[in-house]
Every structure is written in C-alpha cells, then in structure tokens.
Amino acid sequence: MKNIKMSIVAMLLLAVSLTNAQEKEKMNQDHGNMKMDHSKMITMKSDAKAEAILSNYLNLKDALVGDDTKKAAQEGSKLVASLKAFDASSYSKENQKELADIIEDATEHAEHIYESAIDHQREHFKILSKDITDLVAITGTKSTLYEQFCPMYDNGAAWLSTKKEVRNPYYGSRMLKCGKIQKTIQ
C-alpha cells in the first residue's frame, strides 16, 4: 500500500513538472520570424476620425433617449461634419468602397435628423445605427460597445451604446428600458 501511495505521489510530481516545463517553453517562443499582414492592422486599431463619428453618434443617441429634438438636431449636424471629414485612404480598396457607401448613406440620414422633428429623427436613426455598426465593424473601436435591440419599434430596431444599461432612443421616456443587449462589440 505504501508503494502505491509513493508511486501516485511520484506520478503527480512528474505530471506537474512536465506541465511547468511546457508552460515555460510556450513563454520563451520567438515570434520575430513570423510574418504578419500589416495591411489589416488598421482594422484592429481604432481610427481617430471613426472614433469622432462614433462619439457624435452616441451623443445623438443620448439626445433621442432624452426626447430632446433640438439637441438631437445639433448632434445630427455634428455627425454630418464628422462623417464628411472621414478619410478612408488608409484602408484596403475593398474596405474603401464599403466605407464610402456607408459614409454616404449615414450622411444622408444624419442630415435628415438635423432637419426634422423627433419622430422623423428616430426613423432615420434606425438606419443610421446600422450604418454606424457597419462602420465600426471595419474601422474598429477602442470602446466596448453594446448593440442593443428594441423589438417594439418598427418591427425591431438596434442601436449602439457604451453602457450595458438599456436606454431606448426610439421611445425615449415612453419606454426607456424597452430592449436588450443583442451583442457585445470589442
């Protein structure tokens, strides 16, 4: 019985030693000779102009949450300016075309937002939210975003937020907490 216990202890010590040796080996690997595709690195980092667009979008969302038509119009105007200032030249040709389409569509909807009453602002915000989500998928972001979803508004509508707490921009104070987190974007 004593020999069996000693054998088990010896095997456990051997297993732990091997595991530690493997961990140390993994930590000492040289990655200097690995090839990286640096053309895709821009999508892994956030773009300052894309971050400005996202910031203006989030401010617009907050104005709609607060049922503030005037503030939403101001934020819509700021969003138009940041969309027009966006430069996609550092992205791949394929992404440049996609970004141009997104920017064009988002600009049109942001213009409608700064020219309209709150109900119309919210209609355009629905499509604008899809555009901004598509933009972030290409440009990346340094923030953690939550794609939230309200099943009640216009057969369902999504928006982005930096907070987990649901604050519905489509219904504002009428249904402030209507919705759920659909996806986390990091």
Q: Note the pLDDT tens digit of each residue in 89-140.
A: 999 999 999 999 999 999 999 999 989 999 999 999 999 999 999 999 999 9
- Residue 15: inside a domain: no
- What is the reported pTM? 0.75
- Residue 1: inside a domain: no
Range of the domain at 139: 46-185
Count: domains in the chain = 1
For 40-51, the pLDDT digits (tens) are 333 344 589 999
- Residue 35: inside a domain: no
- Which of 119, 180, 118 shows the shortest CA–CA distance to 152? 180
- Residue 13: inside a domain: no
**Which phi and psi (to 5°) does residue 99 adopt?**
-65, -40
